[in-house]
Amino acid sequence: MKISGAQAVVEALRKEKVKVIFGIPGGVIIPLFDVLYDVKDIDVIITRHEQGAIHAADGYARSSGKPGVCLVTSGPGATNIVTGLATAYMDSVPIVALTGQVPTSLIGNDAFQEADTTGITRPITKHNFIVKDPDELVTVMKKAFYIATTGRPGPVLIDLPKDILTAEIEFNYPETIKIPGYNITTKGNPRQIKKVVEAIKKAKRPLVYAGGGVISSNASEELKQFIKKTGMPITLTLMGLGAYPGTEPEFIGMLGMHGTKTANYAVDKCDLLIAIGARFDDRVTGKLSMFAPHARFIHIDIDPASISKNVTIDIPVVGDAKEILKEINRHIDKLDIEDWIKQIEAWKKEHPLTYENDDILRPQYIIERLYELTKGDAIITTEVGQNQMWAAQFYKYTRPRQFITSGGLGTMGFGLPAAIGAQIANPDSLVVDIAGDGSIQMNIQELATIAQEDLPIKVLILNNGYLGMVRQWQEFFYNKRYSGVDLRKRSGGNQKEDKYNYIPDFVKLAEAYNAVGMRIDKKADVDGAIQEALKTKKAVIMDFIINPEENVTPMVPAGAPLHKMISSKEDAENYLLA
């Protein structure tokens, strides 16, 4: 029996065990929404902006390990997910994006709400398709999920012309599929693994540098076994936080631009750097020519294109991190690196992450209290900027898929819709979006989605009245010329003294979206506010009025080597003079 293309899409989603779709309807995609009207086993979450839909699908994927699915219409619907596709592409997140398209007979005629979606999105998707033959639809659906979830994961887009959705087709869904030229290596080369083991045994100052690839491959247990067997110190990237418990003694913090001094000093002095599921991006390496200058490099990654892309690798191993670590763990034992561990411990004592402990309401304190009061058990999403870095530094992540943030693209407005996806994927978990007052407003309309779906998400806004990270750079490197970053009212009241001279009033905004709003401006009120929010079954917005000129430190200036960290404007001036 033949079915419509729209019915075939839904049946394919069922075959792929999809339980939820995020999206917004529109003209050419109505046939698919019409079929979904009668579907009971797939939830359709209607967001208020297409960017919200794809970020929600992204948060769902990152927190669950399953592919996220979004569904939008043609033209502006499709172009509105471009930022979300780029976000997922940079961070290797499996998403299948379904976009409507004008009928095939009108493609290229500048029809109403037509856009060259596949042309626009080709550079920011792992692969994309436009279906022009109804008989290819089912196979394309299978290919899309296979490509998105295998190898190095990533977003795949399927452009669906309206006449393809209404055409009658046979539904024969393939159980497996093979794509010519798309070959994935999972098992590491035995000779290369042997070289890795030999190099580790000879090293005197080894260091493990692990990233989001460990989480993608579900290799956290194998990584933990690797670290515990050898006794090596480990640093994690922003995307890798949670891959190894942040409470374990071997963990020395995040590395890179806003990493710990211990991690960055260890990178600078190590003699063997073992990169696992990480890609040596510029925020990690700083000045490339001075990155880990005394080290040999081992790189374990499923993507051969990532190896020796930025740093020349001495011992590459292409394959799945989980499989490769299993093999390595069979051949290693405790290392004799006592002097190196003593040096690491000395750096930890000399250079802990710290902040001024006074009566001023500081963001670091707020996040530390959130960690204690949630017992480290919350799923944390973030916006982008200072709030993101403080969340990375001062909340300890103990498991994979607990920390969800936009790393590679640095997308402001990511955290709130990502929290929606994470909450729907984990209905029994506490989900907290740590936000800045600037970034939260870029997709704040998704508070309506939260209200409609009755999601108990907690939003913790670190409100400094600025686009804080840009302001920090302007303080350090542009003589405090705060151009384009002040978000407060231009007139009426003293901006430095009037704490409520901010736009918008987040407490009133929360009430408008059927959430609970709180404003906190005293350090003594932090615990009570967080405890009250955690007890509340509704969504809560906590507006913390923090020190306007608080900075994220340490900081490695752009293009500087990792050991040249600064902690103040004076440090920045000295660095620039040097």
Give the active site residues: 50, 112-113, 162, 469
**CA terminus-to-terminus distance, the chain:** 76
Identify the CA nearest to 401 among candidates 217, 233, 541.
217
CA distance linking residue 327 with residue 188, whole number of Å: 8
CB atoms within 10 A of CB 500: 13
Strand order in the sheet with 43-46: 43-46, 20-23, 68-72, 95-101, 155-161, 127-130
CA distance 578 to 575: 5
Cα dihedral 130/131/133/136 (nearest 10): 120
For residues 552 and 538, give the distance between their C-alpha atoms in angstroms, rounded to a whole number: 31
Q: How far apart are CA 370 and CA 378, in angstroms?
A: 9
**Rounded CA separation 156/111 (Å):** 25
Kindly report the number of other CB atoms within 10 A of residue 25's CB atom.
18
Who's near 266: CB < 8 A, 6+ residues apart?
207, 233, 235, 252, 344, 347
Collapsed DSSP state (helix, strand, coil) of residue 97: strand
